[in-house]
Amino acid sequence: MADLLKFSIPGKPEYVGVVRLAVSSVANRAGFDIEAIEDIKVAVAEACNNAILHGIHDNCCNYEVVFTLDEKKLTIEIDDNGRGYDTVNYQEPDLSNPKEGGLGIFIIKALMDEVQINSNTGKGTTITMTKYI
């Protein structure tokens, strides 16, 4: 039986630090080592950045962070009802020619075992990521 924890977070930059603390605590509870906890913390924070910067309009609304943990894995879902975007045309950053934006999703994919992004223009984005213990 999996345990479920659900947080509703204001879509403002100053609260991402609160999410990081919560993520670290949940990942520690799940039994991950320090390096994996750090990876999960960074990946979830990047998804929160994504919700704030590319989803929610003008910090108006909350987004949700949902943790599901069982003995084998921790899955985190970051869900906003914001603008959404076209995931089909997402391009990975060209690391030989670094640009200021576009690194967030790339970092999430590098740090987590499974990542799924569902986004509909005008309806919002859900990023689901899993790390196995």
CA distances from 14 to 18, 26, 52, 109 (A): 8, 20, 11, 24
Does the protein bind other proteins through residue 58 (CB under 8 A)?
Answer: no
Q: Which stretch binds other proteins (CB under 8 A): 56-64, 69-77, 106-114, 122-130?
A: 106-114
Among 46, 77, 79, 80, the residue binding other proteins under the rule CB under 8 A is 46
Among 42, 61, 66, 133, the residue binding other proteins under the rule CB under 8 A is 42
116 backbone dihedrals φ, ψ, rounded to 5°: -130, 135
- DSSP single-letter state for residue 18: H
Q: Which stretch binds other proteins (CB under 8 A): 45-53, 64-72, 77-85, 115-123?
A: 45-53
Instruction: Give the binding-site size for other proteins (rule: CB under 8 A).
Output: 26
Does the protein bind other proteins through residue 53 (CB under 8 A)?
Answer: yes
Q: In terms of Cα–Cα distance, which of 30, 36, 24, 29 is closest to 111? A: 36
Q: In terms of Cα–Cα distance, which of 45, 44, 81, 83 is closest to 63? A: 81
| Closer by beta carbon to other proteins, 2 or else 18 | 18
Instruction: List, in order, residues 6 or more apart from 21 with CB less than 8 Å away.
Output: none
Where does this chain bind other proteins (CB under 8 A)?
Answer: 13-14, 16-17, 20, 38, 42, 45-46, 48-49, 52-53, 93, 95-96, 98-101, 103-104, 106-107, 110-111
